[in-house]
Amino acid sequence: MKPCPTFPIYALRPNDPRDRLCSHPPASPVDWLEEMQRQFAQGRSATLELATTVSAAKGHLHYGEWTAILKSGQLPFRKRRAEMLVVIGNDLDWLNARDRAHLPSALRTLYCLARIEGTRLAALIADGSVHPRLTPRASSIAEMLQPL
């Protein structure tokens, strides 16, 4: 079963170098917004990092602040993409750096992979079924989502 974090990511990985937010999480909604804009500007290669940040922001912000960010029009993406990033950030954050290297960078593909149970996803990564060139249109994604 996948671990299900109930508190911000920087509390889960306090000294992890892949997470710039761990020691100094953004203090205000504006800081979170700037960090998400910075990561979005890095392109597809930073999709998983962006997903982790969006997920952490949603969990960390006070009531109404996340909605205010979404409604502000200042995010470089819309509400649906933000929702997908939250799912990816919540459900794929447990992967280690070696496994992350085998993930594709496309948002929809990562979203599909996030729906797969953790132990099954780890096995699919180990056997090479999940690789950086995987697309959501691939019939293999549909097969991966089927119950055993």
pLDDT of 14 > 70? The answer is no
pLDDT of 136 > 80? The answer is no
- Residue given tokens 């699919």 in the structure block: 124
pLDDT, tens digit, 9 for 90 and up, residues 16-70: 444 445 456 677 899 999 999 999 999 988 999 999 999 999 999 999 999 999 9
Radius of gyration of the chain (CA): 15
Q: Which distant-in-sequence residues (6+ apart) come within 8 Å of 2 by Cβ? A: 91, 94, 117, 118
SS3 5: coil
Query: What mean pLDDT is predicted for residues 109-115?
Result: 92
pLDDT of 82 > 60? The answer is yes
Residue pair 111/55 in contact (Cβ under 8 Å)? The answer is: no
- Say how many CA atoms lie within 13 Å of 71 toward its Cβ: 5
Task: Please report the pLDDT score of residue 66 as a whole number.
Answer: 93
132, amino acid identity = P
* Cα maximum dimension of the chain: 45
